[in-house]
A and B are shown apart, each in its own frame.
Chain A
């Protein structure tokens, strides 16, 4: 059973495997981005704008940090949104802005990628919705609708990133040190397990 414990060589192998796994994931996502961006461009040329939005969204969902295709898809979506807005075609414009905003939130991790453009997106979304609400007689004035929408969009109920990280790290430490104790029977592991368990609970509570 002792051969399960990591040695230097095994650690090196683990690193190589982790690198290979990352490579596999990057290949898959890059391929998806390439394929969808090409389809999006084709749709754009044909004038199938809703179809193009769908493909550009898929490019953004296959998030790869620093991907040039992602940037191009984002620019194309912004371009389409501006064009629809200029033509006072509000619902497709809203679809573009919402798609872009959601793509950012669906690819968030420690932070939201492209978060710098979120205030702009929120502003455009709130403006368009306020105009649509005003048209439907749902609000008395543009300001009321705008403020209402900005109020909704400003709330994020996601757990705290810091405490989530604390909880996740402590959780693996909690399970890991029990396993280590079973394999090596060092008393110190029991103390570390107890500590990790308490930190895990604290992290969960605070997150």
Chain B
């Protein structure tokens, strides 16, 4: 065992301690389900991640979502070790190398991505492999470091890794820009035809990981978030063509539009750096840059190029406008810039080394040994902050809300989920966990343009249970809906495709859908039945759900907080149900209205009589909303 092993094991232990215990919000549910079923995920399909996911899913420890999340902890620990190794190689200072690793470890975005199931840690690891390979090659040009690297070997590894990079997140390929520059800066002899051909073959052999998509994304496979039936589909998926103006190629074109518009991306990027490392870090960054510039200009150019491409340039593509929403910060700022944070951390280590050298030059022997060491360990203090805002170990919200969404449904119901979080978590619970198999889950990205994904409602399974549901005619589905069997995680939207057919009413954490009046024969009788059913189900649901997960999570996860609002709606609906004078009115009155930011549902403004029975519901609802109002770190820093 050496210090690298220790760095790896300690960071792995920290990440595992804070690791999500079950499915997390965002893509976690989809990736876990796709990995288990050897299916496909949303574009770009993520075949490499899914193969790694399938491998760890055989681990006989924890649940499948937890196992998939281990990939993040494992790869983030490896990345930290790689950074330690790299900075130590540049500076030969333990403190400097440790400083780089610890500052990165506790940085908000890096830490959070390391404790949930996501493909960003894998992306970073691949990027860092290429980065290290070329950084070492550049630094090894110095005779003191003892060169002897086989140039073709590095070229071959680069080509192979470049091929593999295409099978994960599209931002990975940006590293190839600085790599080409590094090659141009360091090449010692011209390329031979044989080297070029072998390089191309290795690029292809890495790219072939994508053949997974053709084999598992075709007709007949159970879980396909994207269909890949031919090579055109494959290209569409890899280039993320389905995202239109957000596709890889369309977004790349933005890079060259409006060079004057770099101010906001730059500002947004600095905001990300400051949030993750604080203003204090810029001093070290400056010192590190100066040291690198003096020590090895080529290495300095390479690192800065990496930082610029993964920083301001990426911000121009993805985070370029003046005003950003909470979602923009949470989805883009929090995930895309992890490579930039890592390169920044490398320079920070060099900065501490410069500081250490300064102390040595001043002949402050004790200080030159003690201070850098204190600085190296000091960032670990921020683990306390991470325990308060990124403690995913305590976050059972996504699993519990999803489970309750299903638990309250009558047997043989259909539930429609809209958007990523609700659909992905539903897939995990229903398809991998096989929870409430009598319920059929249909998913669509939104209500405006409905494109049903029937992974949770395969005709093979449910064709005989809901024969009418698979017809094209709405009138044939009406009898099933009138038996109160159609639900959703979202209410019917004004702009939705179903507006002219359906109404919705809030029912606990779900919404009960009913046909519009024109489709109902006995309207009066139907209304009476409907009200009685709604009340009876609301009471039944109150006995089946558990909202305590929303009081005990220490994360500022944007989507978890949104999900908790659904419990607040349930609680205020219950308070309204028990507001009758027969429940011993206290004489107080309160005005209540809860907005669900995810679905856009706004509860009608109720004036509720406080009774002995409903007081607790009102108090819980109030506490729950307050507990989940904590803004995400990026916004906290801004205000």
Q: Quick check: A148 and B222 within 8 Å, CB to CB? A: no
Whether a CB of chain A sits under 8 angstroms from the CB of B447 is no
**Contact pick for A138, options B1, B60, B412, CB 8 Å:** B412
Q: What is the minimal beta-carbon distance from B271 to any residue of chain A, in angstroms?
A: 34
Q: Does A115 contact B (CB under 8 A)?
A: no
B21 touches A62 (CB 8 A): yes
Asked whether, in the complex, the Cβ of A178 is within 8 Å of the Cβ of B202, the reply is yes
CB atoms of A13 and B1 under 8 A apart: yes
Instruction: Say whether A182 faces chain B, with CB atoms less than 8 Å apart.
Output: yes
Q: Counting CB contacts under 8 A, is A193 at the interface?
A: yes
Chain A residues with CB below 8 A from B57, complex form: 109
Highest count of chain A CB atoms <10 Å: which of B164, B212, B485 = B212
As a 0/1 sequence over residues 265 to 302 of chain B, the CB contacts with chain A under 8 angstroms (1 = contact) are 00000000000000000000000000000000000000
Docked-complex contact A132 and B61, CB < 8 angstroms: no
Q: Is A38 an interface residue (CB 8 A)?
A: no
- Whether the Cβ atoms of B208 and A197 lie closer than 8 Å is yes
- Return B411 CB to nearest CB of chain A, in Å: 4
Is A157 in contact with B411, judged by CB distance below 8 angstroms?
Answer: no
B464 at the interface (CB under 8 A from A): yes
Does B461 lie at the interface of the complex (its beta carbon under 8 Å from any beta carbon of A)?
yes
Question: How many residues on B have C-beta within 8 angstroms of the other chain's C-beta atoms?
Answer: 79
Q: Across the interface, do B157 and A164 meet the contact criterion of CB distance under 8 Å?
A: no
Query: Chain A residues near B434 (CB, 8 Å)?
Result: 101-102, 105, 153, 156
CB-nearest residue of chain B relative to A31?
A: B17
Q: Chain A contacts of B431 at CB under 8 A?
A: 157
User: Interface on chain A toward B: helix, strand, loop, or mixed SS?
Assistant: helix
Cβ contacts under 8 Å, B60 to chain A: 63, 65, 109-110, 113
Contacts of A63 in B (CB 8 A): 60-63
A78 touches B (CB below 8 Å): no
B65: interface (CB < 8 Å):
yes
Known contacts A51-B548, A92-B543, A158-B37; A105/B438 CB under 8 A: no
Taken together as a complex, chains A and B put the C-alpha atoms of A182 and B485 apart, in Å, by 59
Minimum CB–CB distance for B172 against chain A, Å: 16
A25 and B544 form a contact (CB under 8 A): no
Q: Which residues on B sit within 8 Å (CB–CB) of A197? A: 208
Output the residue of B16, B59, B156, B434 with the most chain A CB within 10 A: B434
Question: Does A98 interact with chain B (Cβ within 8 Å)?
Answer: yes
Interfacial residues of chain A within 182-197, with CB under 8 A of chain B in the complex: 182-183, 193, 197
B82 at the interface (CB under 8 A from A): no
**Is B600 engaged at the interface, CB distance under 8 Å to the other chain?**
no
Q: Is A205 touching B215 in the complex (CB atoms < 8 A)?
A: yes
Cβ-defined contact, A152 with B461, below 8 A: yes
Pairwise interchain contact A136-B546, C-beta atoms closer than 8 A: no
B37 touching A157, Cβ below 8 Å: yes
Q: How far is the CA of A91 from the CA of B400 in the complex (A)?
A: 17
Contact B543 A168 (CB under 8 A): no
- Stretch binding the partner chain, chosen from B6-14, B315-323, B470-478, B614-622: B6-14
Interface string of B66-86 (1 = CB under 8 A from A): 100010001000000000000
Q: Are B21 and A58 in contact (CB under 8 A)?
A: yes
How far, in whole Å, are A63 and B66 apart by their CA atoms in the complex? 10
Question: CB within 8 A of B38: which of A22, A133, A155, A204?
Answer: A204
Q: Is A151 an interface residue (CB 8 A)?
A: yes
> In the complex the two chains form, is A149's CB within 8 Å of B8's CB?
no
B412 to chain A, nearest CB (A): 6
C-beta contact mask, A76-112 vs B, less than 8 Å → 1, else 0?
A: 0000000000000001100100100111011111100
B483 to A24, Cβ gap below 8 A?
no
| Closest 7 pairs (CB-CB, A-B) | A157-B222, A102-B433, A102-B435, A204-B215, A61-B63, A106-B63, A106-B433
10 inter-chain pairs at a CB distance below 8 angstroms, sorted by A residue, are A51-B546, A98-B407, A98-B435, A103-B433, A106-B433, A109-B59, A158-B37, A159-B38, A167-B54, A193-B205
Extra A-B contacts (20), CB below 8 Å, given A98-B407, A152-B437: A22-B61, A24-B13, A29-B62, A32-B21, A62-B62, A98-B435, A98-B436, A106-B63, A107-B62, A110-B60, A129-B411, A132-B411, A133-B411, A136-B410, A138-B412, A148-B465, A152-B465, A157-B458, A182-B160, A205-B215
Which B residues are within 8 Å of any A CB, using their own CB?
1, 5, 8-9, 12-13, 16-17, 19, 21-22, 36-38, 51, 54-55, 57-66, 70, 74, 149-150, 153-154, 156-157, 160, 164, 202, 205-206, 208-209, 211-212, 215-216, 222-223, 393, 396, 400, 407, 410-412, 429, 431-438, 458, 460-462, 464-465, 483, 485, 540, 543-546, 548-549
